[in-house]
Amino acid sequence: MPKLFRRILFVTPPGHGHIFPLISIAWAFRAAGHEVLIATCGISLSLASHAGLSHINVAPGQDLLGMFERHKHSFPQSFARPLQSDDASPSNSNTGSFFIALGDAMADGLVQAALKWRAEVIIFTPEAAAGPVAATKLGIPSVFLGIGLAHTPQSMVENVYPKMNLTSERHGLANISAPAAWIDVAPKSLKAVASNSWPMRYVPYNGGSLLPLVPSVQNREPRIAVTLGTVVPLVYGWSPLHWLTMAAQHVDAEFVIVCGSSGPSVLGELPANVKTIGWFSLNELLITCNGVIHHGGWVRQ
């Protein structure tokens, strides 16, 4: 009789934009009776905890902030020119150097965790290069969980795996096995070409928020949500929004800037129709809005 339930290890780098897209599917597996564990590090540990999922730190003692600072200069270079159709992948950009270093830092702890926990399947997000390394080492299947429009297993095989040579050699691997499957949440209408992925309906998760007891009545004037995500403010600061504050005062609309835990004080005094809020569930905000201005990331709506 075949085994019905599996021990599924999810692997993701630190960061809201990396762990949030996998929370819903992790809970779907958990609700179906499977054992689920999140292998990550940094900020994603507390985010997994808040989501009610068991998790393990696979990069203890690593200076993740220092690692980010060492590679921070490469992020602006990634947006120096428009991405072309044949290189529209983070693995082709200079930001890949950060994720390669991060994957190497996570690999040893991940292999140990997967072995000790007796993982049977590893599901990893695009920049979690340590995921397929551990799967190859243990001889178990890995599954690629696409979380955007530009990520494909092929980009990993062609652009990321070759850069993991030192990690592979350390674990005695001649090569890294390609993912056995690809779960894709990108809407079919937005995909440039057809793929052999497993389509999955995307269910947003972006944390919980305290909502007003009485829902606010839709404003008479249009409301526009504004978000730069969590990484852009770390790299560029809030200066990319200077144009918005200058233009907003001439627009008959309300602009709501979601700024997380740090306010964009560098923007100075804001027009009356521009407001800032802290952490808030984007899906709850967007249902009250007529439009959104964002940084081009995987907006969790």
Cβ(296)–Cβ(240) below 8 Å? no
The span from the CA of 216 to the CA of 198, in Å, is 39
Task: Give the mean pLDDT of the chain.
Answer: 83
The proportion of the chain whose per-residue pLDDT surpasses 90, expressed as a percent, equals 42
**Rounded mean pLDDT of 230-237?**
77
Cβ(95)–Cβ(78) below 8 Å? yes
Residue 132, C-beta contacts closer than 8 angstroms, at least 6 positions apart: 122, 124, 142, 156, 161, 176, 177, 178, 179
**CATH 3.40.50.2000 placement within the chain:** 7-199, 223-294
**Residue 299: per-residue pLDDT:** 45
Superfamily for domain range 223-294: Glycogen Phosphorylase B; (3.40.50.2000)
Q: Which one-letter DSSP state was computed for residue 159?
A: I
The CA distances from residue 138 to 58, 112, 153, in Å, are 16, 10, 20
The CA distances from residue 91 to 74, 119, 152, 200, 270, in Å, are 13, 27, 10, 23, 37
Confidence bin at 269 (pLDDT 50/70/90): confident
The distance from CA 91 to its chain's CA centroid, rounded to whole angstroms, is 14
Top-confidence range, 76-85, 107-116, 265-274, 278-287: 107-116
**In the predicted model, is pLDDT for residue 53 greater than 90?**
yes
Question: Edge-to-edge strand order for the sheet containing 223-227?
Answer: 274-277, 254-258, 223-227, 291-294
Nearest alpha carbon to residue 97 among 123, 67, 124, 58: 67
**Rounded mean pLDDT of 21-31?**
95
Cβ(254)–Cβ(277) below 8 Å? no
**Residue 12: per-residue pLDDT:** 96
E strand or H helix at 11: strand 7-11
The pTM assigned to this predicted structure is: 0.84
Q: Which fold has domain 7-199?
A: Rossmann fold (3.40.50)
